[in-house]
Structure 1
Amino acid sequence: MGKVITGDDPQTLVSTEWLAAHLNDPDLRIIDASYYLAEMGRDAKAEYDAAHIPGARFFDIDEISDRRSDLPHMVAPVEKFMSRMRAMGVGDGHQVVVYDGMGLFSAARVWWNFRLMGKSDVAVLNGGFPKWQAEGRPVEDMPPIIRDRHMTVQRQAHLVKDVTQVASASKLGDWQIVDARSPARFRGEEPEARANLRAGRIPNSRNVHYATLFNEDGTMKEGDALRAAFEAGGVDLDKRIITTCGSGVTAAILMLGLMRLGQEDVSLYDGSWAEWGQFEQLKVETG
């Protein structure tokens, strides 16, 4: 276990106050990583075009992904990620701040994407665009002026797990598997939105609903309160952890919280339930 992080930290979370103070820094790059499930009825790109934090670039989670996979928004190959970031003017030497329109939802997924590519100077905006707007901070509807920036990538393979590795962890118990989905979905009491997916959970997994990590204002809990959210789900913070969810988005929120608590031995199951739930040969628990 490393050091517990509280307050502003440019490698995990920063406040709206921090971002406002650094808004004109020449090496700051802001990314709007808004993403919505179909049932939310929201258009992330249209909302970005209408209003975003000044200078923000739009990161399309579904497009900047491995389109060869049948699974939703699997992490992009290194070359694709590099080319998309260069086109967005994001590269070496930049401090990146990622936000989304829900408050703290899909931004953590993009934060994890950068971490996976070896970029540590990246933070999530705590409370996201809703908090920024509620405080009356500046927004704009103009696209930023882009200048190409080279990006050097060193993929950190230990930050991601595939289905074979997760199946081994489920069987051997050498990693804790922590599921960010709602308790009803975790117990298999609620049908899955995606077609042909069984209901239930990965055997021997634990449940920490991502929403339990938040304060009432949508910011992430800190210190003892954050620790209590994980411990309430039966998680031993001294043991290594794999996070999972429906399709690898909210699993990244758990990873962000765990890193704030000093847990450095944590990995994300990219395929998550969208993958596990479709294969009949993989066991499922319910109840």
Structure 2
Amino acid sequence: MASDDPRTLVSTTWLADHLKDPDLRVLDATWFMPAEARDAQGEYEAGHIPGARFFDIDEISDQRSELPHMMPSTEKFMSRMRKMGVGDGHQIVVYDGMGIFSAARVWWMFRLMGKTDIAVLDGGFPKWQAEGHPVEDLPPVIRDRHMTTSRQNQMVKDVTQVAAASKLGDYVIVDARAPERFRGDVPEPREGLRAGHIPNSRNVFYRDLLNPDGTMKSPDATRRIFEAAGVDLSKPAILSCGSGVTAAILALAMERMGKTDHAVYDGSWSEWGLFPDLPIQTGDA
């Protein structure tokens, strides 16, 4: 069970106890890989945690980019949150339909914008439903709320910064993809991408940080997993994955461990694997 922290991770019990708090805002950030052929918004409309707003990761993004769901501009983020009735003074809880998957991405997006009163629901919607907590299919009543932001640029890295870190070794680069993708043993799920990983990166599969019920392992357990993978936790970390979603699970785990010097490579393998002039490695790190 989560040790409840409204800035990182809260339990279903915590959310049930606080669900009617006037300044609580719940976000459903469910997102599925395209190959799963599931409709996240449709599933939200069929049933969600009472009062939850749907956070569309693909729409609340930089749609000028050819890369998937890149971080939007500050102005777009603020505009979308205002329309969703999410703003200053709110405690936010974000969940998804997988347990802990895409919710961590939205947690990271808020943190990048300088908003710290946000937590991921441990175990997500599956655990909430399994425990018999209320579910509704009603749209939320929304009132505009002003949001101020303070973008934390150190929490995101671009391809040039990652390439430099790969060469210099001043950061530890950690890849959240499955081991067979990291090694380059299987084709990438997105067409046109090379197989392999960023040189000098380490592999911590995001699922290894989770318990069978979809909750996150304890900070001590996640620390041991990072260390066993050869991650030098004394260095600042750059976190990568397929498209910047599950890298945020690593960020959440590190934050719970008390390691705050972490950043997400937003383009991740969707960018690195696309361009033939960027070096790759195959096999184990």
TM-score range, shorter chain: over 0.9
Matched, 1:242 2:238: yes
- 2:142 matched residue in structure 1: 146
- Check conservation: 2:219, 2:253, Cα contact below 8 A: no
Give deviations 1:18-72, integer Å, cap 9, x for gaps. Answer: 0000000000000000000112221100000000000000000000000010000
The CA distance in 2 between the partners of 1:91 and 1:113, in whole Å, is 14
> What secondary structure is seen at the aligned counterpart in 1 of 2:199?
coil
Matched, 1:26 2:22: yes
Which sections of structure 1, spanning at least 5 residues, go unmatched?
Answer: 1-5
- 2:261 matched residue in structure 1: 265
Matches within 5 A, 1:1-287: 7-287=3-283
How big is the alpha-carbon RMSD for the aligned residues of Structure 1 and Structure 2? 0.7
**Once the 2 structures are TM-superposed, how far is the Cα of residue 224 of structure 1 from its aligned partner?**
2.0
The CA distance in 1 between the partners of 2:259 and 2:87, in whole Å, is 27
- TM-score (ref. length: structure 2): 0.98
2:227 partner letter: E
**Once the 2 structures are TM-superposed, how far is the Cα of residue 234 of structure 1 from its aligned partner?**
0.8
**Once the 2 structures are TM-superposed, how far is the Cα of residue 232 of structure 1 from its aligned partner?**
1.8
The CA distance in 1 between the partners of 2:194 and 2:219, in whole Å, is 36
Moved over 4 A (4+): none
- Check conservation: 2:68, 2:243, Cα contact below 8 A: yes
- Check conservation: 1:238, 1:263, Cα contact below 8 A: no
1:111 partner letter: W
The CA distance in 2 between the partners of 1:194 and 1:9, in whole Å, is 35
**Once the 2 structures are TM-superposed, how far is the Cα of residue 237 of structure 1 from its aligned partner?**
1.8
* Number of residue pairs matched by the alignment: 282
1:79 partner letter: E
The CA distance in 2 between the partners of 1:215 and 1:64, in whole Å, is 29
Give deviations 1:173-213, integer Å, cap 9, x for gaps. Answer: 00000000000000000101112110000000000000000
Name the % identity. Answer: 70
**Once the 2 structures are TM-superposed, how far is the Cα of residue 238 of structure 1 from its aligned partner?**
2.1
Give deviations 1:57-97, integer Å, cap 9, x for gaps. Answer: 00000000000100000001000000000000000000000
Which sections of structure 2, spanning at least 5 residues, go unmatched?
Answer: none
